[in-house]
Chain A
Amino acid sequence: MTGERLEIDGVSKRYGDLVALEDMTFDVRAGELFGFVGSNGAGKTTTMRVILGVLSADAGEVRWAGRPLDLPTRRRIGYMPEERGLYPKMKVGEQLVYLARLHGLSEPAARESVRTWTERLGVAGRLDDEVQKLSLGNQQRVQLAASLVHDPSILVLDEPFSGLDPVAVDVMSQVLREKADEGIPVVFSSHQLDLVERLCDRVGIVRSGRMVALGPVDELRTGDTVRLTVAAPQAPHGWADGLPGVRETSYSDGTTLVLLERDADDQALLRRALETGPVHEFGPNPPSLTELFRHVVSEA
């Protein structure tokens, strides 16, 4: 199946004087894993709730396949809310069948799908247990199953990895990748940036209700500069300052971090380093998503 694009276009939301979202705009392409990161309260959850229609936006629009999302289309979204939501006293199996049927599946199809997904997620043995009797990790797996049992055409998951053990994180990652590979847009939020970096095709960083950085992870990490590590123990402090194309430098223990413009001549920098003595290391050292995130988020 070829999926369609999910577009969030100029969405704004205020609570009195508090701006929750301001012109939030991004899209999640078919077959793409989109990571949504930002500090607590930045607007990730609000955005997702607007996508799901449980919150109405003051302005802007959410579209799928070029048309504004309506209830029948929203029924095709698989959603995992930030605050986990299941009936605590209802049996896992009955609950999942019920949710699948609310999303439009026939009873036999719902049962079949529940069987498939609970087996896949390793909770098939707990179908007859009440949800509240499960460990938090297993409840989380059931929650993921709840977002998948109706074979969704869009996946919107708020913090799907929080509270998972490493094995469950692997299963969750695999499933998300798989769903994206089936051609549906997958968007999830997370504070585990190493995971986002590893998993996502593109990321969006939100701050105070605005999208402040958006693009493939590699592109965001580098941007229009290249960060180089130069290990030249005998180089004096300040040796690279003022060289053509050098934007920023930082020195510590004989290692220098140089932020160089992308089209500047890095070989000139290397020659200059060699003039100071031996150079043990000279190479690109792009910032991690975590560093980038700190940088972007702290820019107020």
Chain B
Amino acid sequence: MSESMGTVAVIRLVTGREISTRLRSKSFRITTVVNLVVVVGFLLAMKLIGGSSGDAVGFTPSAEPLSQPLAAVAEGFGNRIKPSTVDQATGENQVREGKLDAFVTGTPEHFEVVVKQDLSPNLRNAFTVLARQLALNAGIARAGGDPAAVNAAADAARPDVRSLEPARDNQGPRMVLAIIAGILVYVSIMIYGQLVAQGVVEEKASRIVEILLSTIRPWQLMLGKVVGIGTVGLIQLGSTAVVGVGAGLALDAFHFPTGIVASAAAWAVLWFLLGYLAYALLFAALGALVSRQEEVGGATAPALMAIILPYVLAISILPADPENQAMAIASQVPFFAPMIMPMRIALGVAPAWQIALSLVLTVALIAGLVWFAGRVYHNAVLRVGARIKLTEALSAR
């Protein structure tokens, strides 16, 4: 029998128990599935809203020379064309079946577009421009000019644009990204923070805490629990992020650089980690004040409010007004930052110095909470019965 067991070994045991029991729990499986459904659902919606990956357009062999110019025109609008060459009968069938969005017949000089009912706005624009261009080309050729040279000159012409404020790209997709990040971080902090409070009370209510604390120190038990439950949360959120980014790439749902998505996901995971640590410590302290599961809700209500309030404000204000000044300030406030900052980062409106400041303040808060929670937990966790006042738990020996 070992005379003494190192702190690391003790915490590892406690952490290991938390991880193994919670990974196997039904609630973990359910929340993981819900997370994945939310993310993949959002991505599918994004793909449907944000435009398809390309309109399928068929060409008869005789109209086939138009496929290149049509693709070029469509690209000018930010759309894509998936061209294919089919014969007349097959093409019309495919239009009827919905496999083709449009089917081009005739000759480059005089073409006809076959559609099921109507052209999509994107394709209508492309074909209209194409038809005008062909007419222009014909006119230029009749006037003795070189259509290719004129087109090249026309393509090179650009308006001069002067921005009064720095431009932000990809507003729409960034907003979706911000909402996903906001929801996931919020829900994860909420779920895993509360699990800590419930776990603390489970040990108090079942009185096993008395056996545990005759063997290990209170802070070791508290820290092991916080780290263990946090690891489970990180596994869940991390896998959601990886699956989300992976599925987004596979679905081709991102119409902007993957780097933005990956960085938003990474920041979301980091802010979950920090927010979870802060709130888990708070939840551990508040949970230690009560002895029955029914009392957990009441005891942890202040912490829950501190999570819900910034999230609700952020999710209602930021999508409409990403640069909202009050939100910018709130995102620096330690307890609020974890819910607001990942959304602002995903929106691309958080300057580096604000991110740095909020990180520093949150880490400082966590350091303070380690002391606070350690003290409250130590003084309260073995006291069974009526709810203990926070001031009493803080001032007791």
The residues of A with any CB-CB pair to B shorter than 8 Å are: 49, 52-56, 71-72, 74-77, 79, 81, 83-90, 94, 98-99, 101-105, 146, 150-151
Contacts and interface: CB of A to CB of B under 8 A. Distances in A.
B21 A85 contact: no
Contact of A104 (B5, B21, B206): B5
B109 interface: no
B96 interface: no
B13 A84 contact: no
A74 B215 contact: yes
Contacts of B397: 56
B214 A85 contact: no
B17 A98 contact: yes
Contacts of B13: 98, 101-102
Contacts of A105: 1
Contact of A76 (B1, B10, B208, B209): B1
A18 to B, nearest CB: 14
A86 B208 CA distance: 5
A104 B216 CA distance: 11
Chain A CB within 10 Å — which of B3, B5, B208 has the most? Answer: B208
B214 A83 contact: no
Contact of B208 (A52, A55, A85): A85
B385 to A, nearest CB: 11
B207 A77 contact: no
Interface string B173-215: 0000000000000000000000000000011001111111111
29 contacts: A52-B210, A53-B213, A53-B214, A54-B210, A71-B215, A71-B217, A75-B4, A75-B5, A79-B214, A81-B210, A83-B210, A83-B384, A84-B207, A85-B208, A85-B209, A85-B211, A86-B208, A87-B21, A87-B203, A87-B206, A87-B208, A88-B202, A89-B21, A98-B17, A102-B10, A102-B13, A102-B216, A150-B1, A151-B1
Contacts of A81: 207, 210-211
B3 to A, nearest CB: 5
B2 interface: yes
B382 A54 contact: yes
Given A83-B210, A102-B212, 20 more contacts: A49-B210, A54-B210, A54-B213, A55-B382, A71-B217, A72-B5, A74-B214, A74-B215, A75-B5, A81-B210, A85-B206, A85-B209, A85-B210, A87-B206, A88-B206, A89-B21, A98-B13, A103-B1, A104-B4, A151-B1
B364 to A, nearest CB: 31
Contacts of B209: 85
Contacts of A102: 10, 13-14, 212, 215-216
Contacts of A76: 1
Nearest to A98: B17
Interface in B1-29: 1-5, 10, 13-14, 17, 20-21
A94 B216 CA distance: 18
Contacts of A53: 213-214
Contacts of A79: 210-211, 214
A37 to B, nearest CB: 21
Contacts of A84: 207
B202 to A, nearest CB: 7
Given A83-B384, A104-B5, A151-B1, A75 B215 contact: yes
A101 B1 CA distance: 10
Contacts of B382: 54-55
Nearest to B4: A72
A3 to B, nearest CB: 14
A56 B14 CA distance: 24
A94 B397 CA distance: 35
A90 B4 CA distance: 26
A77 B2 contact: no
B202 A87 contact: yes
A90 B21 contact: yes
Contacts of B207: 81, 83-85
A103 B215 CA distance: 6
B288 to A, nearest CB: 14
B233 to A, nearest CB: 19
Contacts of A94: 20
A54 B214 contact: yes
A75 B214 CA distance: 7
B228 to A, nearest CB: 12
A213 to B, nearest CB: 28
Contacts of B203: 87
Contacts of A86: 206, 208
The 7 A-B residue pairs with the shortest CB-CB distance, nearest first, are A85-B207, A85-B208, A104-B2, A83-B207, A52-B214, A72-B4, A81-B210
